[in-house]
């Protein structure tokens, strides 16, 4: 569920009218619900009750300092994939000792920075990286805490660009090679402490079965590593999916209650109910790495219709947001529900909603039945709290949007809109 709904004919984020935000701050504009972020984090944390665990928010999903600060205040750990993300966590008041550093291509500079900050663990993706980590730690006279990422070869049945747990993906070490790697590391790498094991099979999973399959497959390996090498944690990754296709309605309890068990998307409580019994007796700390599940439905992208263009084949609604602001539809064929800021009537038209970027791939939907919003009117792209602003760019020399965090009736600008001068800062 989330904090977006129509009230008195206008779309609101919690108690703030989104039209008023668009009028005051302009569009495109990202708006986040603090209440939704808190609710999703707390629900997942509570769903894992009975297991020694930590929710390590995946910073790559939404790295705004105010979002990180809110989650750090709730006790979250952080899953980072760059030195820059670690810097952001620290700036937001997060604890480096609750950070795990993932990614296949860590540089010496990033490793040195993370070691000096005292992170909890490096999640290592290859034997070559593990040996490099040992070298860098030795050069600094330190010991690097590490966990190897196992690739369990489980098909998450998600989009090919966000599948990470199969043998052909670039991530992790093949399941069959893990025990040998841990044995070699223990014998040959004195500046590495093997602290745990990590896995992550993919993103936007809306069924519990791939999670169960991966946990059950990897559990014997984890117990063997615990016995032989004394590992203390198992990171089971993230990947819990969210509602994209019926996002606005899914903010209501009634929407969930009306769904049958077969129709209902995976919930955070169902996730916990399935996995806690399989994890509670392992004697290990369990790390979770959710990003989208916490932030995805907590944000929208507001945009304004500029023109309606009617051709012989199609009708185009041209808006002021582009693929540089939200690239998921172009990159992943990602679906975002598009709703008018003013509550619409029953009239529907088949349209393409497109942006101003000089690319044919600059669209938010094609041939979709939508309310017939007109030039000058605002619309909201739902479910943009994750992998929205963080993937935005200055393509076509367009300033990045502003970001707003709403908490009840208070709306705070948590990132200023870029100016034209900002676009060329640092250039000669």
Are 256 and 250 within 8 A, CB to CB?
yes
Interior/surface letters 124-162, b for 16+ CB within 10 angstroms, e for the rest: bbbbebbebbbebbeeeeeebbbbbbbbbbbebebeeeb
- Sign for the CA dihedral angle at 343, 344, 350, 351 comes to negative
Judge whether 344 is annotated as a binding position: no
DSSP secondary structure string for all residues of 146-174: EEEEEE------S-GGGB-SSTTSSSSEE
Judge whether 332 is annotated as a binding position: yes
Q: Give catalytic residues, as residue numbers.
A: 358
User: Is 276 in a helix, a strand, or coil?
Assistant: helix
Judge whether 172 is annotated as a binding position: no
Judge whether 88 is annotated as a binding position: no
DSSP code at position 378: E
Judge whether 32 is annotated as a binding position: no
CA 307/CA 324 separation, integer angstroms: 19
Judge whether 334 is annotated as a binding position: no
CA distances from 161 to 155, 289, 328, 353, 391 (A): 13, 18, 11, 24, 15
Cα dihedral 38/60/83/87 (nearest 10): -30
State the helix-helix crossing angle for 209-229 and 268-279, rounded to 10 degrees: 30
Q: Beta partners for 198? A: 149, 235
Judge whether 14 is annotated as a binding position: no
Q: Which residues are annotated as a binding site for pyridoxal 5'-phosphate?
A: 239, 289-292, 387
Q: Which residues are annotated as a binding site?
A: 239, 289-292, 328, 332, 359, 387
Q: Which residues are annotated as a binding site for substrate?
A: 292, 328, 332, 359, 387
């Amino acid at each position: 569920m989330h904090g977006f709904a129509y009230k008195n004919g206008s779309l609101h984020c919690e108690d703030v009218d989104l039209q008023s935000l668009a009028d005051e701050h302009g569009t495109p504009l990202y708006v986040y619900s603090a209440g939704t972020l808190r609710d999703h984090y707390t629900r997942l944390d509570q769903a894992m009750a009975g297991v020694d665990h930590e929710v390590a928010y995946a910073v790559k999903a939404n790295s705004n300092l105010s979002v990180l600060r809110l989650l750090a205040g709730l006790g979250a750990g952080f899953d980072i994939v760059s030195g820059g993300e670690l810097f952001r966590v620290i700036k937001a008041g997060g604890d480096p000792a609750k950070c795990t550093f993932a990614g296949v291509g860590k540089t010496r500079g990033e490793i040195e920075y993370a070691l000096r900050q005292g992170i909890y663990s490096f999640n290592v993706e290859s034997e070559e990286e593990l040996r490099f980590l040992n070298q860098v730690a030795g050069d600094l006279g330190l010991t690097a805490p590490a966990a190897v990422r196992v690739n369990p070869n489980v098909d998450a049945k998600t989009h090919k660009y966000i599948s990470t747990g199969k043998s052909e993906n670039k991530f992790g070490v093949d399941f069959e090679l893990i025990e040998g790697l841990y044995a070699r590391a223990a014998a040959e790498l004195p500046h590495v402490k093997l602290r745990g094991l990590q896995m992550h099979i993919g993103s936007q999973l809306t069924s519990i079965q791939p999670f169960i399959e991966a946990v059950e497959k990897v559990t014997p390996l984890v117990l063997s590593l615990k016995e032989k090498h004394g590992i203390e944690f198992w990171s089971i990754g993230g990947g819990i999916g969210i509602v994209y296709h019926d996002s606005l309605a899914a903010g209501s309890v009634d929407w969930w209650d009306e769904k049958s068990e077969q129709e209902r998307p995976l919930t955070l409580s169902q996730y916990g109910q399935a996995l806690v019994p399989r994890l509670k007796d392992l004697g290990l700390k369990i790390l979770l790495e959710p990003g989208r599940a916490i932030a995805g439905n907590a944000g929208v992208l507001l945009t304004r219709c500029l023109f309606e263009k009617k051709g012989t084949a199609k009708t185009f609604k041209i808006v002021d947001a582009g693929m540089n602001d939200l690239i998921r539809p172009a990159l992943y064929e990602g679906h975002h529900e598009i709703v008018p800021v003013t509550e619409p009537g029953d009239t529907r038209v088949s349209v393409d909603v497109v942006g101003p970027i000089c690319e044919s791939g600059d669209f938010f939907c094609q041939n979709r039945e939508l309310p017939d919003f007109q030039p000058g009117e605002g619309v909201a792209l739902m479910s943009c709290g994750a992998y929205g602003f963080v993937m935005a760019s200055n393509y076509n020399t367009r300033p990045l949007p502003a970001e707003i965090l709403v908490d009840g009736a208070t709306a705070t600008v948590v990132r200023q809109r870029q100016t034209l001068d900002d676009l060329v800062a640092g250039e000669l």
